Structure 1
Amino acid sequence: MSVGEAVETEPRRRPGRALSFGLIVTAVLLLLFGVPWWTLVWSGNRWPTAVFAAGTVVSAALAAAFPVLMFSGHGRQHRDGPARVADTLLGIVWVLFVWSILGNLLRLALTLAGVEDPVRSRVVTAVVALVALVLLLWGYAEAMRVPRVRQVDVLLPRLGSGLDGLRVVLLTDTHYGPINRAKWSRGVTEVVNSLDADVVAHTGDIADGEVAQRREQAAPLGDIRAKLARVYVTGNHEYFSGAQRWVEHMAALGWEALHNRHLVVSRNGSDLIVAGVDDRTAAGSGVPGHHMDHAAALRGTDENLPVLLLAHQPQQITGAVAHGVDLQISGHTHGGQIWPFHYLVRLDQPVLQGLSRHGERTQLYTSRGTGFWGPPFRVFAPSEITLLVLRSR
């Protein structure tokens, strides 16, 4: 999940579209960098000329460099150095932008209290800078830690008694990327293996980069243990970086790639269909044979058996409801990752996180994600390794 995500295609270039895109990017950059500049540098601070000039030059330079770094780091070449700088800068400027806006509430209170500039503006600047610093340090620690386990019991009325208590561990959005998290990945594997899972599922966005670039970070996935099945579906980010190669690599690591297909797990005389569909962006990616197809995933199944469906995005719940799925498990949203980005996520997705019901039969569990995309920060949106305990009664 990222700002401005799109399917990796080769669209016909149109001058008007390019101009519109350029204007939108410029407007966003002016807001993201301009609002913190106004709060911290200009406003009514009345800083000495040298301080004002230095702050202005730094703000302008960062705003100009940011799109260059972002496209260089997250373009087709996936250059890790520029990507690390761009991602970190994005997180910093987003937090400063948000709290610069909220700082105006303090400015209003100080105005009503009769506090004049430059004291008023300098107090606002100090508070905004301090809050942003604390949140960024805390957010970095939250992003880089091995996630806590979140256990959720899910009642599935059609689940056979022999599968009561089935333990499904959900990983999603690991986003192995420019920051090498091989040690973190091994820590995740250790936690998963301590949970005595029957089924382990990964619902996509394994990495930002090709298999060859992220092989070391993804390697611990091969050591994850499950009694009945290890299953995986693609996320939208696979379609930026070799989706079919990731499908093949996960198969090489011993995972079942549920590429619009299913398998059946059995215990004590009861059966559960475990199905998966490609991400909803797959059809437009240009990758041959990749598209979201619920009918193909469930073809040949017994309609009396309960269905657990892996689908990367909560928005794919519409197809799950139409095909009588009992439980869909998803990721993609990251729980918003950096507050208050979750308001923008909700414009695109029906659910932000947690267990929800859709229609008479279908439930959806949306994980906040195991890793993080881009900015190495999580603010008020902790990561998770999810343990879903399926109950028949």
Structure 2
Amino acid sequence: MRSLRKGRRASDRAGGLLKIEGMSLSRMVVFLGLVLTVSAGIHYYLWARLVRDIGWPAPWGRVLGWGIVALALAFPLFQMASRSLPREVASPISWVVYGWLGLMFLLFVLLIPADLVRGIAWLIERLAGTPADPARRQFLARLFGGLVGAGALGAAGYGVWSVLRPIAVKPVTVPLANLPDPFAGFVIAQITDVHVGPTIGRAFLEELVAKTNAMEPDVVAITGDLVDGSVARLGHLLEPLSRLKARHGVYFVTGNHEYFSGAAEWVAHLATLGVRVLRNERVSIEKDGAALDLAGIDDPTGGNFLPDHGPDLARALAGRDPARPLVLLAHQPRQVQEAADHGVSLQLSGHTHGGQIFPFNFLVPLQQPFVAGLHRVRDTAIYVSRGTGYWGPPMRVGAPAELTRIELARA
């Protein structure tokens, strides 16, 4: 038993970027097989269009071809090796590996319309009976390859600059019909989707804490996906959160990535930093004789990982005074339908990153009702932040990060 506990502790210390807990071996094998198959297909497509069709002179064609093979293998190999690498070594490698994933996505996205144009040109040639001209086809391949390469590199460069520049504070005013007069001008600083992990560390959090405190908020709300890794690996990096200041407290709800990273340990660790974790519960905030309720629920993925986790809004709102305004912290926007059924005044969410890299924002609605911004579902307002950090590729294209300053106002 002692050796088993020792082995578990060692596993926690070596916890990688994401721990796949609560997933059966067969499902994990299928998932990894699907990811590797898609990755192999995309890398082959990039090689075919940007190396083979262009016809690079020797030895550049072979060098680029093997380079694409190496990049295709880099991500799965790094995922396995990162479990035993110290952060000081893993972090710079993460920038290269995840940076390539972002550039790969942009190349793939830009090649699709380029191939569409080439396909139309080929169809016109066939219908017109024009003889095939290999030289012309290679010219078009080189032209479109150059345009795609330049466009993807430009977008990736902008995306990296976007995440390296100072955090922008986004002001949002939310009118609430039943807001008592003393709460007019009440400020909530929303932090979400920071993803402290491979490429985001202590320096980012120190800047974030300084800007949050400069708002002099009444409440700080951290709406999930704070970390990507175990407490043993990342816990010391979150020390700046202990310096967050708010008149009525700092609150947190779990996101799906907390469950990938050991949610129970993170809930306990955040408490040591002065962060109150709301797990299907509600607190009352009083000001000048008036009151406002603040509630928080678990992420919907929680029940798949821990038996006592998962959202329970009815439990969180049990016994509340319906005349009071209620602000709900819920990581995923799709939880707003139930919130509207329970008469929630305002829901604060994240999760979507606003799409993070265009045009991924067009895929988000397949799972979530809103991508970003302020919306309304019946009598319930919902604000979806684009996120304060980023996940995976260290870049944002068309979806800048935000530290949100939410001010409540009387409708």
Q: Distance in 1 between matches of 2:82 and 2:380?
A: 40
1:253 is displaced (CA, Å) by 1.2
**For residues 268-300 of structure 1, what are the alpha-carbon distances to aligned partners after superposition, in whole Å with 9 as ceiling and x for unaligned?**
2221100000111001112x4222110111122
Which of 192, 195, 201 is the aligned partner of 1:172? 192
Structure ranking higher in helix proportion: 2
Equivalent residues of 1:262, 1:274 under 8 A apart: yes
Equivalent residues of 2:19, 2:261 under 8 A apart: no
Asked if 1:262 is matched to 2:282, the reply is yes
Of 370-379 and 129-138, deviating more is 129-138
In the other structure, the counterpart of 1:375 is 393
Asked if 1:319 is matched to 2:330, the reply is no
Which of 198, 219, 227 is the aligned partner of 2:218? 198
Structure 1 segments of 4+ aligned residues over 6 angstroms from their partners: 108-115
Of 98-107 and 265-274, deviating more is 98-107
Which of 344, 350, 359 is the aligned partner of 2:369? 350
Unpaired runs of at least 5, structure 2: 1-17, 126-132
**Residues 351 and 271 of structure 1: is their aligned pair in 2 closer, same or farther, counting only changes over 3 Å?**
same
Instruction: State how 1:275-294 maps to structure 2 within 5 Å.
Output: 275-286=295-306, 288-294=307-313
Instruction: State how 1:98-109 maps to structure 2 within 5 Å.
Output: 98-104=109-115, 107=118
**Residues 109 and 131 of structure 1: is their aligned pair in 2 closer, same or farther, counting only changes over 3 Å?**
farther
**Residues 23 and 243 of structure 1: is their aligned pair in 2 closer, same or farther, counting only changes over 3 Å?**
closer
In the other structure, the counterpart of 1:50 is 59
Of 160-169 and 207-216, deviating more is 207-216
Q: Distance in 2 between matches of 1:218 and 1:191?
A: 16
Equivalent residues of 1:337, 1:380 under 8 A apart: yes
Q: Distance in 1 between matches of 2:219 and 2:282?
A: 14
Q: Give 3-state SS (helix, strand or coil) of 2:404's partner.
A: strand
**Residues 311 and 169 of structure 1: is their aligned pair in 2 closer, same or farther, counting only changes over 3 Å?**
same
Asked if 1:249 is matched to 2:274, the reply is no
In the other structure, the counterpart of 1:153 is 173
1:147 is displaced (CA, Å) by 2.0
- One-letter code of the match for 1:197? P
Unpaired runs of at least 5, structure 1: none
Q: Distance in 2 between matches of 1:171 and 1:98?
A: 30
Equivalent residues of 2:19, 2:229 under 8 A apart: no
Asked if 1:35 is matched to 2:53, the reply is no
**For residues 195-217 of structure 1, what are the alpha-carbon distances to aligned partners after superposition, in whole Å with 9 as ceiling and x for unaligned?**
12111100011111112322343
Which of 315, 319, 325 is the aligned partner of 1:306? 325
Of 247-256 and 114-123, deviating more is 114-123
Q: Give 3-state SS (helix, strand or coil) of 1:308's partner.
A: strand
Give the greater-gyration-radius structure (CA): 2
Aligned length: 383
1:171 is displaced (CA, Å) by 0.3
Equivalent residues of 1:321, 1:362 under 8 A apart: yes
Q: Distance in 2 between matches of 1:191 and 1:106?
A: 47
Q: Give 3-state SS (helix, strand or coil) of 1:118's partner.
A: helix
Asked if 1:226 is matched to 2:226, the reply is no
Equivalent residues of 1:171, 1:386 under 8 A apart: yes
Equivalent residues of 2:248, 2:285 under 8 A apart: yes
Q: Distance in 1 between matches of 2:21 and 2:365?
A: 23
Identity over aligned pairs, percent:
37
**Residues 217 and 19 of structure 1: is their aligned pair in 2 closer, same or farther, counting only changes over 3 Å?**
closer
Q: Distance in 2 between matches of 1:169 and 1:354?
A: 15
